[in-house]
Amino acid sequence: MASVSEMYDVGWEEMRDKLRKWREDNCRNSEQIVDVGEELIGEHSAKLGDDIWIIYEQVMIAALDCSRDDLALTCLQELRKQFPDSHRVKRLSGMRLEALERYDEANKHYDAILQDDPTNTAARKRKISILKAQGKSPEAIRELNEYLEQFVGDQEAWHELSELYINEHDYGKAAFCLEELMMSNPHNHLYCEQYAEVKYTQGGLENLELSRKYFAQALRLNNRNMRALFGLYMSASHIAASPKVSAKVKKDNIKYSAWAANQINRAYKVSCDFFRKDLNALNPLI
């Protein structure tokens, strides 16, 4: 089988830099990381200097993701040798146990870390991940709420909580989490759009109007967000069709939905020759 360096005609420095980029962007392209990382470690470890340790960690996690326990164990053993008392490495041991579904042992690892260092957020989050993996959503939600009381600025945790609430159909609480995220990330169009989708799902005139506003806001922040564009069309159309709105509100929403329909049509005309979208197709929504 051809090596990565042969297939893509790259040298070890480029492979190392690619791994760094993926680390910085927090990409979860685990199969690629395993391919590149395994070759880098196998053939060029001496050249990597101190970078090798963080690469071992990155490759180990990717290997767990791809059920490559052989590779994960190799990386873990190197890290254990180099950093025998490290909490960071202990957490990786725990993650390996999680991948092998040995959750009780994994929890023991994390509890040991927390005994030593009660502020270790990584260990706490792993424990919550175990609850999620075991399908114990209510417990995961409870623990995550407790975690967020202490670590109120943890964006990743707020987003995870919003996802858990959405899966449990607790849209009100999901909306609250997304509000926190929007406050601290006012320029993130994805949070606006997700918030709008939750409001739309909750239903009722007030929520529909809020959803329309936030779909519009998401579009202001990123005018190529198709979900926001469709969302604007659908929410405005539903509001216009509601018997409870005034003539003025009806008129305004017809205008918004027509604008959105126009934008959608244009987007499809420009992008797709084989895939002509007739906006009449969307009228059944009204």
Nearer Cβ to another protein (93/137): 137
Minimum Å gap between C-beta 16 and another protein is 25
Contact 52, 41 (CB under 8 A): yes
Structural element, H or E, at residue 207: helix 205-221
Q: Is 172 in the site for another protein (CB under 8 A)?
A: no
Q: Given candidates 49, 70, 119, 169, which one binds another protein under the rule CB under 8 A? A: 169
Contact 210, 198 (CB under 8 A): no
Three-state secondary structure call for residue 208: helix
CA 42 to chain centre: 31
Q: Is 200 in the site for another protein (CB under 8 A)?
A: yes
Q: Is 284 in the site for another protein (CB under 8 A)?
A: yes
Nearer Cβ to another protein (74/257): 257
Angle at 76 between CA 72 and CA 77, to 5 degrees: 120
Query: Distances in Å between the alpha carbon of 140 and those of 98, 162, 172?
Result: 16, 12, 18
Nearer Cβ to another protein (235/253): 235
86 CB contacts (<8 Å, ≥6 apart)? 79
Rounded Cα gap, residues 97 and 60, in angstroms: 13
Minimum Å gap between C-beta 286 and another protein is 11
Q: Is 119 in the site for another protein (CB under 8 A)?
A: no
Rounded Cα gap, residues 38 and 55, in angstroms: 10
Q: Is 227 in the site for another protein (CB under 8 A)?
A: yes
Q: Which stretch binds another protein (CB under 8 A): 11-19, 115-123, 146-154, 190-198?
A: 190-198
Nearer Cβ to another protein (151/230): 230
Q: Which stretch binds another protein (CB under 8 A): 87-95, 145-153, 199-207, 243-251?
A: 199-207
Nearer Cβ to another protein (46/281): 281
Q: Is 187 in the site for another protein (CB under 8 A)?
A: no
Q: Is 133 in the site for another protein (CB under 8 A)?
A: yes
Contact 196, 174 (CB under 8 A): no
Nearer Cβ to another protein (97/175): 175
Rounded Cα gap, residues 210 and 249, in angstroms: 14
Query: Distances in Å between the alpha carbon of 153 and those of 146, 183, 184?
Result: 13, 11, 9
Q: Is 253 in the site for another protein (CB under 8 A)?
A: no
Q: Is 230 in the site for another protein (CB under 8 A)?
A: yes
Positions 14 through 43 that interact with another protein (CB under 8 A): none
Nearer Cβ to another protein (26/271): 271
DSSP string, 184-202: H-TT-HHHHHHHHHHHHHH
Q: Is 282 in the site for another protein (CB under 8 A)?
A: yes
Rounded Cα gap, residues 282 and 196, in angstroms: 19
Binding site for another protein (CB under 8 A): 133, 135, 166-167, 169, 194, 196-198, 200-201, 203, 211, 226-227, 230-231, 234-235, 267-268, 271-272, 274-275, 278, 281-282, 284-285
